[in-house]
Amino acid sequence: MRAIYKRELRSYAVSMTGAIAIAVALLIMGLMFRNYNLSTYHLLTFSYTLNNSSLVFYIVVPILSMRVFAEERKLKTDQLLLTAPVSVGQIVMGKYLALITVFAIPCVITGFYPLIMLRFGKETIKWDYSALLAYFLMGCAYLAIGMFISSTTENVIIAAILSILFVFVTQMISNTYTLMSASNFAALIFLVILAVLAGFLVYFMTKNYWAAMITISGLSAAWLITYAIKASWFSGKTEAVMKVLDFATHFNDFANGSFTIPNLLYFISAGAIGIILTIQSVLKRRWS
């Protein structure tokens, strides 16, 4: 795993991908710091700068993650990895650790910003660093999902677009709660759509048409039967399901000074799910 980790870090340095990602992240966060804390609004809390730096994820996540597996598949160099005397888990973790190492660099550098603000009589240093930790973990979760997306295709452009789309959905979904119908039937339709999406995911992971159809049919039948027996069970389920993808709200708690273990575990769990899905995706390719 160490050899893969070093190889990936070297590739980010040689191709300038890592340097570009770090520069973009520092530029955006620096501009936000200047705007919110130093010149325009004169806020004494750095967490507000982080809260308004989500643009970093739209750019840095696809830059770093889109090539992780997609380009290897396109150039057929993934066959060298898959036949190496290391496990798939070690391959994935080596690549993932390289990703988060590159992302950690701008996070560490911006960690000096709250210290700069101490001269202005700042008293929320713990608040700021807890928000920075949550920001880093949110980035790690995005990179894990981006890595999984990259493992499902050999087209880096498609991988980048899907990563941007995922970031967009998870950052903006909190704004759609009030737009969704609160009726039980609307919740049923929403869950059936999710069943279809789950079926597509199963098909991408297994390339098995019947497994996908069984997933869609089984979940849809379960929702329909439940609706027929007790329609009231669907009350509030649309919002509950949408909150699973609501990265922004979980981070906003930290930005507002609320340090909670469940929110930290949320981002850690999201990253773990991305890693597990990536391992399964690569295993499927290894034996196909």
Q: Which two tokens stand for residue 274?
A: 């991305």
- How far apart (Å, rounded) are the C-alpha atoms in residues 233 and 223? 10
- How far apart (Å, rounded) are the C-alpha atoms in residues 279 and 93? 9
- How far apart (Å, rounded) are the C-alpha atoms in residues 245 and 247? 6
How many angstroms separate the Cα of 78 from the Cα of each of 63, 132, 202? 19, 35, 22
Mean pLDDT, to the nearest integer, of 102-127?
84
- pLDDT digits over 50-87, tens only? 888 889 999 999 999 998 888 877 777 777 777 777 88
CA 84 to chain centroid:
28
- pLDDT digits over 116-130, tens only? 887 776 667 888 898
- How far apart (Å, rounded) are the C-alpha atoms in residues 32 and 28? 6
What is the predicted pLDDT for the residue at 4? Answer: 86
- Number of C-beta neighbours around residue 119 at 10 A: 7
Distance in Å from the first CA to the final CA of the chain: 23
pLDDT of 194 above 90: no
Mean pLDDT, to the nearest integer, of 228-237?
81
- pLDDT digits over 6-47, tens only? 888 888 888 888 899 999 999 999 999 988 888 766 777 888
Q: Alpha-carbon dihedral of residues 42, 43, 45, 47, nearest 10 degrees?
A: -100
What is the predicted pLDDT for the residue at 172? Answer: 86
What is the predicted pLDDT for the residue at 180? Answer: 59
What is the predicted pLDDT for the residue at 62? Answer: 94
How many angstroms separate the Cα of 261 from the Cα of each of 12, 92, 133, 174? 33, 27, 12, 21
Can you give the C-alpha Rg of the chain in angstroms? 21
Percentage of the chain beyond pLDDT 70 is 92
Taking Cα atoms as reference points, which of 242, 248, 244, 223 lies closest to residue 180? 242
Mean of all residue pLDDT scores within the chain: 85
Q: Which two tokens stand for residue 78?
A: 């993934």
What is the predicted pLDDT for the residue at 286? Answer: 63
Mean pLDDT, to the nearest integer, of 128-144?
93
- Cα–Cα–Cα angle for 158, 159, 164, rounded to 5 degrees: 95
What is the predicted pLDDT for the residue at 41? Answer: 64
pLDDT of 288 above 60: no
- pLDDT digits over 150-191, tens only? 988 888 999 999 999 999 989 988 777 655 556 777 788 878
Higher pLDDT, 221 or 258: 221
Residue 80 contacts by C-beta under 8 Å, 6 or more apart in sequence? none
Q: Give the least confident one: 109-113, 132-136, 252-256, 261-265.
A: 252-256
What is the predicted pLDDT for the residue at 241? Answer: 78
What is the predicted pLDDT for the residue at 63? Answer: 93
At how many degrees (to 10) do helices 156-172 and 125-151 cross? 140
For 284, how many CA atoms within 13 A lie in the half-sphere containing its CB? 17
- Cα–Cα–Cα angle for 279, 284, 285, rounded to 5 degrees: 100
At how many degrees (to 10) do helices 247-255 and 156-172 cross? 60
For 151, how many CA atoms within 13 A lie in the half-sphere containing its CB? 28
Higher pLDDT, 159 or 255: 159
What is the predicted pLDDT for the residue at 177? Answer: 62
